[in-house]
Amino acid sequence: MNFKKSLLLAFLVFLFVGKADAQDELLTKTKTAFKTSNAKLLVENFNNVVEISFDGERSQYNKTQSEIVMNDFFKKHSYKDFVIKHQGASKDEGIKYAIGSYTYNGGEYRVYILIKPFKGFYLIDTLDFSKE
C-alpha cells in the first residue's frame, strides 16, 4: 500500500511539473516571438481558431489568417520592448493568462493573453491588444 501511494504521488508531481514546464515554455516562446516580431513562431502557440482584438475590435482567425494579421501588426508597430507584467490561472478550469506590455516606436499596447488547455496541450486562445 505504501509503495502504491508513493508511486501515485510521484506520478502527480511529474504531471504537475510537466504542465508547468509546458506553460513556461509557451510563454517563453511567446515572448521570443514578440521580441523578434516573428508571427510564425507566435502562431505555433495558437489554437486552431484564435480571437485577436485591437482596441475592442474582435475577430476570430484560423492559424493562416492569424499569421497574416500578426505580420501586419509587427510591420506597423516596430518592436521596442515586450514584458510580461503579470500572469495567473483559474483554480478550476486550468485556464492561464498573462498580461504584458508591447512597446513600439509610436506608443504602447497592453497585451492580454488567454491560454487554455486543448487535447492535453496549452495553447493561446485569445490575444487582446489595447493602446495605453
Cα(36)–Cα(58) distance, rounded to whole angstroms? 24
Q: How large is the average pLDDT for residues 121-132?
A: 96
What confidence tens digit (pLDDT) does each residue in 84-120 have? 999 999 887 789 999 999 999 999 999 999 999 998 8
Q: Is the pTM of this model over 0.95?
A: no
What confidence tens digit (pLDDT) does each residue in 45-82 have? 999 999 999 999 999 999 999 999 999 999 999 999 99
Where are the extended beta strands (E) located within 32-95? 46-54, 57-62, 79-89
Cα(103)–Cα(131) distance, rounded to whole angstroms? 10
Cα(114)–Cα(89) distance, rounded to whole angstroms? 10
